[in-house]
């Protein structure tokens, strides 16, 4: 839904690198800029089509005036934006939504792909199955689909990385002390946290490798898994205050306009179910994170590195369910705040509130298909041009 009477529905492409969360945006243009000289980047690209491999991918919640582009009711789609100029996203770009009528033909026209259409289309369809684009969920999902892609595409965004630093430093400080024999100082811990989160091979991580008893690729995989759980712990830690506000505001929101008793009763029922489902999802996420906490405590408190080592090697199996649950509750918190900003009165028409709550309930319960809704018949839409340039939130 649009937030009427506000420009919050638009966000400049040029602001993505500064503000976009990892879970919502995959900025392939930035990856190209950072890793152009990396041999793995050249040999294992995300997309085979060169133009498409510099795109910006965004998890986009459809507005009401975009529903006509789809054969079936769709809530969240993957938006592909091909910038006019990779080095200056402020110039805008051309875009399409995965799944809209005629999107595959539009994609070939936009990307100029020759010979790689089937593989790149299959990859976009796999991306469209996910609720978010966070790197840990994304990598495991694509590996299970047998896509071989360079690790540099699965990095935490610069914006999220900056916000994670302090949380991760407090989490791993005990292990740093254990692995490095009391190597002191907050500065040293901060440097090692930077190394851990960067994903780069570095000899300074050797004491950590020895402590965990991992070799070569197992060590790299173990670090990736560890970062994944630290990431989800950080997300939940940051997200829970926002979710509590959403739950509180569900009971405070004021319905305006025409009121239908039956619809109002349905809104109250769906709202209560959303409330219960949010709490249930949080409990499941916490239960999974407790498995990590127990293994980490075995290492740092009991001096048993094997328990944590074994956990790290098995943990990718947990990423899909953990990422999907975290992604859905994150979507609820971010969309609710986008639609009902803190500085605005909590007012909404009844049919829109029901639509929002049904969307939340649908996502929380993992349904595969939303109920069919009538949409305006239309011819296949042309590729849209982001002229202002801007992207919808």
pLDDT per residue as tens digits for the range 349-389? 998 899 889 888 887 875 333 333 322 333 334 334 333 33
Is residue 15 pLDDT above 70, yes or no?
A: no
**Could you tell me if 285 and 327 are in contact, meaning their C-beta atoms sit under 8 angstroms apart?**
no
Domain-embedded: residue 254: no
Give the dihedral sign, CA 319/324/330/331: positive
- Report the chain's mean pLDDT, rounded to a whole number: 77
**Could you tell me if 44 and 148 are in contact, meaning their C-beta atoms sit under 8 angstroms apart?**
yes
Domain residues for the domain of 77 are: 10-157+382-392
Of the listed ranges 80-94, 167-181, 282-296, the one predicted with least confidence: 80-94
Is residue 93 pLDDT above 80, yes or no?
A: no
SS3 351: helix
Provide the token pair at 327: 């992604």
Rounded Cα distance, 334 and 207, in Å: 40
Please state the domain count of the chain. Answer: 1
Domain-embedded: residue 87: yes
Helix, strand, coil percentages, rounded to 5, for the chain? 60, 10, 30
Domain-embedded: residue 116: yes
Mean pLDDT value of segment 93-110: 89
Q: What is the pLDDT of residues 19-37, one digit of tens each?
A: 455 678 888 888 888 888 8
Element (H, E) at 27: strand 25-27
Domain-embedded: residue 139: yes
Confidence tier at 98 by pLDDT (50, 70, 90): very high
Domain-embedded: residue 279: no
Residue in the block written with tokens 């205050």: 241
Domain-embedded: residue 41: yes
Confidence tier at 78 by pLDDT (50, 70, 90): very high
Q: Is the bond preceding 59 in cis, omega lying within 30 degrees of 0?
A: no
H helices of 155-304, where?
158-179, 186-198, 206-212, 216-250, 261-300
The pLDDT, as a whole number, for residue 57 is 92
Domain-embedded: residue 43: yes
The pLDDT, as a whole number, for residue 148 is 92
Domain-embedded: residue 32: yes
Rounded Cα distance, 300 and 88, in Å: 46
Element (H, E) at 82: strand 76-83
Rounded Cα distance, 373 and 4, in Å: 22
SS3 34: helix
């Amino acid at each position: 839904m649009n937030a009427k009477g506000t420009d919050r529905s638009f966000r400049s492409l040029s602001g993505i690198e500064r503000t976009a969360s990892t879970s919502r945006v995959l900025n392939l243009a930035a990856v190209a800029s950072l890793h152009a000289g990396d041999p793995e980047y050249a040999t294992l690209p995300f997309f085979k089509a060169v133009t498409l491999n510099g795109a910006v991918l965004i998890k986009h919640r459809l507005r009401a005036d975009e529903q006509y582009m789809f054969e079936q009711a769709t809530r969240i789609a993957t938006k592909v934006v091909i910038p006019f100029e990779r080095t200056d996203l402020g110039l805008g770009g051309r875009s399409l939504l995965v799944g809209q009528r005629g999107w595959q033909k539009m994609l070939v026209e936009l990307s100029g792909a020759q010979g790689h259409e089937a593989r790149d289309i299959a990859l976009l369809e796999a991306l469209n199955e996910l609720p978010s684009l966070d790197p840990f969920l994304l990598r495991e999902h694509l590996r299970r689909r047998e896509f071989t892609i360079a690790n540099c595409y699965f990095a935490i965004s610069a914006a999220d990385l900056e916000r994670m630093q302090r949380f991760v430093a407090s989490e791993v400080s005990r292990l740093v002390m254990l692995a490095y024999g009391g190597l002191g100082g907050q500065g040293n811990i901060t440097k090692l946290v930077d190394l851990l989160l960067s994903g780069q091979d570095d000899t300074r991580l050797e004491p950590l490798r020895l402590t965990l008893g991992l070799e070569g690729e197992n060590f790299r995989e173990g670090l990736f898994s560890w970062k994944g759980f630290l990431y989800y712990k950080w997300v939940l830690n940051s997200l829970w205050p926002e979710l509590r506000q959403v739950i509180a505001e569900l009971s405070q929101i004021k319905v305006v306009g025409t009121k239908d008793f039956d619809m109002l009763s349905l809104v109250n029922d769906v709202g209560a179910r959303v409330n219960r489902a949010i709490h249930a999802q949080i409990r499941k996420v916490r239960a999974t994170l407790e498995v990590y906490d127990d293994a980490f405590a075995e290492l740092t408190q009991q001096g048993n590195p094997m328990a944590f080592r074994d956990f790290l090697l098995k943990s990718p199996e947990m990423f899909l369910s953990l990422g999907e649950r975290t992604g859905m509750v994150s979507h609820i918190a971010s969309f609710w705040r986008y639609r009902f900003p803190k500085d605005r009165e909590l007012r909404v028409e009844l049919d829109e509130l029901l639509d929002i709550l049904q969307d939340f309930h649908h996502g929380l319960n993992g349904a595969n298909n939303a109920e069919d809704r009538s949409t305006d018949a239309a011819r296949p839409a042309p590729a849209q041009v982001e002229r202002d340039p801007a992207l919808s939130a």
